[in-house]
Amino acid sequence: MGLRKRKSIKHHGKSLVEILEAHERFFNGQEGGARADLTGADLANADLSGVNLTGAILRNANFTGCDLRKAKLPGADLSGASLRRADLGNTDMTEAILSGADLTEAQASGVEFFRCDLSHANFQRARLRNVNLRLANVQGAKFSGADMGVAILRETDLTGADLSGVDLSTTLMPKGYSQAQAAKKSA
C-alpha cells in the first residue's frame, strides 16, 4: 500500500492542498494567507515530503508512517503529535515544539533539532544519525535503543533524559559527559 496523496486528505472539511497553499501565502506575507492549523489531523501514511509547515500548529496530529523528508517545520508546534515510524530524513525542525511527541522508530537522520523543545518526547529505537540536538530541551525524553551515531549533543543539558542502550561512542557529547554517566542516570 502506497502513501496517501495530499489531495485526498481533508481536515475540518478543507482539503490539505488548500490548507498548505494558504499556509504558503501566510508564510510569504501574501494576501489570503492563513497559518496552517492541523491540530488533531489524521495525516497517517501521507506523502508530505518537502512540505513547508514553518510555524504551523500541528498539536496531537497523527503523522504515523508519514514521509516528511526534507520538510520545513521550524517553529512548528508538534506537541503530543504521533510521528511513529515517520521518515523525517533531513527535515528542519529548528525551534519546533515536540513536547510529549512520539517518535518511536522514526527515521530521523540528518534532522535539525537545534533549540527544540523535546521534553518528554519518545525516541525509542529511532534512527537519529547526524542530528543536531544543540541547546534542545530533552528533559524526560526517552532515547533508549536509539541509533545516535555522530549526533551532536554539545551544549545540551541531558539531565533527566533516558539514554539507556544507546551507543554514544561517536556522539558529540557535552564537555565532561561520559557514557558511564548516561548509564548511571538511566538506571
* pLDDT at site 187: 45
In degrees, to the nearest 5, what angle opens at C-alpha 135 toward C-alphas 44 and 20? 30
Measure the CA–CA gap between 115 and 117, rounded to whole angstroms. Answer: 7
pLDDT digits (tens, 9 = 90+) for 29-52: 999 999 999 999 999 999 999 999
Measure the CA–CA gap between 78 and 31, rounded to whole angstroms. Answer: 26
pLDDT digits (tens, 9 = 90+) for 162-180: 999 999 999 999 988 865 5
Measure the CA–CA gap between 133 and 62, rounded to whole angstroms. Answer: 23
pLDDT digits (tens, 9 = 90+) for 54-89: 999 999 999 999 999 999 999 999 999 999 999 999
Measure the CA–CA gap between 38 and 61, rounded to whole angstroms. Answer: 7
